[in-house]
A and B are shown apart, each in its own frame.
Chain A
Amino acid sequence: MSSNLDQLYRQVIMDHYKNPRNKGVIEDGSLTVNLNNPTCGDRIQISMDVEDGKIKDAKFDGEGCSISLASASMMTQSIIDLPVDEALRLSKVFSDMMQGKEYDDGDLDLGDLESLQGVSKFPARIKCATLAWKALEKGVYEKDGEQQ
């Protein structure tokens, strides 16, 4: 078995897949967004409670592979208590990491997200890992659009 595969499916990823954090829906959340990956049928829903520009709570729901669900679980973990603009900055850093680019995490805490680094070696799976983040961005930008 290749070490690349072990990098892709690290223990911490499988742990998030098997024991997802923040799984579910925030019923009265201020922001809910759905996103599909039309090429594979994966579906993700992110619901968030945003107050004064800060993410107070975040949950995810949906169906997908280990990478997409683990990534969603990790994302909710890292964006709770983060200001929205910092969450977007983290999203950019994560996206760069997935594409194998140089990334500057500066003062941001990647935490478990770093375990997804191995995905960059599997181009066909990058979209799985970024699906939840794309949903986050879509939700925030749509909300901005409504308010303006």
Chain B
Amino acid sequence: MITKEIREQFPILGQEVNGKPLTYLDSAATSQKPISVIETLAHYYKNDNSNVHRGVHTLGTRATDGYEGSREKVRRFINASSTEEVIFVRGTTTAINTVASSYGRANIGEGDEIVITPMEHHSNIIPWQQLAKETGATLKYIPLQADGTISLSDVENTITAHTKIVSVMYVSNVLGTINPIKDITEIAHRNDAVMMVDGAQAAPHMKVDVQELDCDFFAFSAHKMCGPTGIGVLYGKKQLLDKMEPVEFGGEMIDFVGLYDSTWKELPWKFEGGTPIIAGAIGLGAAIDFLEQIGLDEIEKIEHELVEYAMERMSTIEGLTIFGPRNRAGLVTFNLDDVHPHDVATVLDTEGIAVRAGHHCAQPLMKWLDVTATARASFYLYNTKDDVDALIEGLKTTKEYFGHVF
């Protein structure tokens, strides 16, 4: 599929914003949705809506088939060894919190270490801060190199025999850094620690193989990969999940309930208390179909070309600072001298260009970069060089505008 055909699948992209054609460069915050996903959700609610795993009736069977069918699609998408290892959750945040609450509380004690990095999203910092406070464990950070990458010797030096959990993002939502997850996992395992991966910015953009990575937990969100909001996935190795206690108790997740004691369903359902996110899961399945039809390798190629082109053109703008390493995923975080990123984003918005401005849920990283906020343009499969050109023109306009008003 060429980009024009891809773009036609996204009805939202056809509109004008503030009298200009929409240039959507905020897919790292959330991606747009193709018509196939939108129609799958509508079709489900129009035709199949019912609760899962209980009804004897036909609609109940259809809903269950759709929900569990999506679980199989996710299993294949990340190459998990079985659907027992695929848990539907609200999103990456819930997935990480589930591991911190369940695995963390049972396996972490005083004197133990939890290892993360300063580039993490708040969702991969705060659950560990809380766990460390509750248990008396120490939270340690793998230091960053000047270019915003991680060196394996620092990983070796930070992870010790006391380390019980290592949790690192695959791709940075600010720097675009692609972390050497497989190597970090190997070092974690050598020290008998488990490895959790925040895959929120990876799963939408590149082929992920959890068995190849050998990570113990992997989390991602559907809404960043053309799926609906409110649904995500926690992958965990079966032997770990088997031993873990559920975090939420109630309907759907039980085997037998007595007055004073109850037992849980088998995996993965023991972690899915309450009526699950049925439509969301089915929508995620449709998003996976869509991405696989184009191919993750092709998507990675599209984004790589765009980010290379954007870096090249942006580096010609005087007074523009780009944060992060040369080799990166499909996003560029930047600041313009003397113009606050909010002001950049506001001027770009009047040109129909949507970028993110702020701390990107990474305040420790902002501190490390010694800025309070930054602007970010992020690309996805539906973006084109025309979008990059619009951004460059918009940035020039911003500079002229603020140069003029000062």
> What residues make up the interface of A, taking CB atoms closer than 8 Å to B?
1-2, 4-5, 8-9, 11, 14, 18, 39-43, 63-67, 122, 124-125, 128
Task: Give chain B residues whose Cβ lies under 8 Å from the Cβ of A125.
Answer: 342, 346
Decide: A39 and B358 in contact? CB cutoff 8 A: yes
Asked whether any CB of chain A lies closer than 8 Å to the CB of B373, the reply is: yes
Closest B-chain residue to A125, C-beta based? B346
Asked whether any CB of chain A lies closer than 8 Å to the CB of B340, the reply is: yes
Q: In the complex, what's the smallest C-beta–C-beta distance from B212 to chain A, in angstroms?
A: 37
Asked whether any CB of chain A lies closer than 8 Å to the CB of B366, the reply is: yes
Q: Can you name 30 A-B residue pairings with CB atoms under 8 Å?
A: A1-B350, A1-B401, A2-B19, A5-B346, A5-B347, A9-B401, A9-B402, A9-B405, A14-B405, A14-B406, A18-B406, A40-B342, A40-B357, A40-B359, A41-B359, A41-B363, A41-B366, A41-B372, A41-B373, A42-B372, A43-B372, A63-B372, A64-B372, A65-B340, A65-B342, A65-B343, A66-B342, A66-B343, A124-B346, A125-B346
Task: Give chain A residues whose Cβ lies under 8 Å from the Cβ of B406.
Answer: 14, 18
Task: Give chain A residues whose Cβ lies under 8 Å from the Cβ of B19.
Answer: 2
Cα separation A11 to B18 with both chains bound (whole Å): 23
Asked whether any CB of chain A lies closer than 8 Å to the CB of B40, the reply is: no
Asked whether any CB of chain A lies closer than 8 Å to the CB of B158, the reply is: no
Cα separation A8 to B343 with both chains bound (whole Å): 10
Asked whether any CB of chain A lies closer than 8 Å to the CB of B30, the reply is: no
Task: Give chain A residues whose Cβ lies under 8 Å from the Cβ of B402.
Answer: 9
Task: Give chain B residues whose Cβ lies under 8 Å from the Cβ of A124.
Answer: 346, 349
Given A39-B358, A40-B359, A41-B363, answer yes or no on A5-B350 (Cβ-Cβ < 8 Å): yes
Determine the interface band of chain B, counting residues with CB < 8 A from chain A.
20 to 34
Decide: B405 and A11 in contact? CB cutoff 8 A: yes
Cα separation A66 to B346 with both chains bound (whole Å): 11
Asked whether any CB of chain A lies closer than 8 Å to the CB of B397, the reply is: yes
- Could you list 17 further interchain pairs (A-B, Cβ under 8 angstroms) beyond the known A9-B401, A9-B405, A124-B349? A1-B350, A2-B19, A5-B346, A18-B406, A39-B358, A41-B358, A41-B372, A41-B373, A43-B372, A64-B340, A64-B342, A65-B340, A65-B341, A65-B343, A66-B339, A122-B346, A125-B346
Task: Give chain A residues whose Cβ lies under 8 Å from the Cβ of B341.
Answer: 65
Decide: B342 and A2 in contact? CB cutoff 8 A: no
Cα separation A124 to B358 with both chains bound (whole Å): 12
Closest A-chain residue to B359, C-beta based? A41
Given A1-B350, A1-B397, A41-B372, answer yes or no on A67-B405 (Cβ-Cβ < 8 Å): no
Task: Give chain A residues whose Cβ lies under 8 Å from the Cβ of B363.
Answer: 41
* Per-residue contact bits, chain B 349-361, to A (CB 8 Å; 1 contact, 0 not): 1100000011100
Q: In the complex, what's the smallest C-beta–C-beta distance from B16 to chain A, in angstroms?
A: 13
Given A41-B373, A42-B372, A125-B342, answer yes or no on A2-B350 (Cβ-Cβ < 8 Å): yes
Chain A CB within 10 A, most for which of B357, B359, B405:
B405
Closest B-chain residue to A63, C-beta based? B372
Task: Give chain A residues whose Cβ lies under 8 Å from the Cβ of B401.
Answer: 1, 5, 9
Given A14-B406, A41-B373, A43-B372, answer yes or no on A8-B346 (Cβ-Cβ < 8 Å): yes
Chain B CB within 10 A, most for which of A5, A125, A128:
A5
Cα separation A67 to B340 with both chains bound (whole Å): 10
Cα separation A96 to B339 with both chains bound (whole Å): 28
Q: In the complex, what's the smallest C-beta–C-beta distance from B113 to chain A, in angstroms?
A: 29
Chain A CB within 10 A, most for which of B19, B339, B342, B401:
B342
Cα separation A1 to B19 with both chains bound (whole Å): 11
Closest B-chain residue to A128, C-beta based? B342
Task: Give chain A residues whose Cβ lies under 8 Å from the Cβ of B358.
Answer: 39-41
Q: In the complex, what's the smallest C-beta–C-beta distance from A50 to chain B, in angstroms?
A: 29
B322-380: which have CB < 8 Å to A?
Answer: 339-343, 346-347, 349-350, 357-359, 363, 366, 372-373
Closest B-chain residue to A10, C-beta based? B405
Top 6 closest pairs, chain A to chain B, by CB: A65-B340, A65-B342, A41-B359, A40-B358, A14-B405, A63-B372
Closest B-chain residue to A124, C-beta based? B346
Cα separation A5 to B18 with both chains bound (whole Å): 11
Chain B CB within 10 A, most for which of A39, A43, A65:
A65
Closest A-chain residue to B367, C-beta based? A41
Cα separation A14 to B340 with both chains bound (whole Å): 12
Q: In the complex, what's the smallest C-beta–C-beta distance from B345 to chain A, in angstroms?
A: 8
Task: Give chain A residues whose Cβ lies under 8 Å from the Cβ of B342.
Answer: 40, 64-67, 125, 128
Closest B-chain residue to A14, C-beta based? B405
Cα separation A65 to B343 with both chains bound (whole Å): 7
Task: Give chain A residues whose Cβ lies under 8 Å from the Cβ of B346.
Answer: 5, 8, 122, 124-125
Q: In the complex, what's the smallest C-beta–C-beta distance from B357 to chain A, in angstroms?
A: 7
Cα separation A8 to B357 with both chains bound (whole Å): 18
Closest A-chain residue to B362, C-beta based? A41
Closest B-chain residue to A43, C-beta based? B372
Closest A-chain residue to B397, C-beta based? A1
Cα separation A125 to B346 with both chains bound (whole Å): 8
Task: Give chain B residues whose Cβ lies under 8 Å from the Cβ of A41.
Answer: 358-359, 363, 366, 372-373
Q: In the complex, what's the smallest C-beta–C-beta distance from B200 to chain A, in angstroms?
A: 19
Cα separation A77 to B401 with both chains bound (whole Å): 27
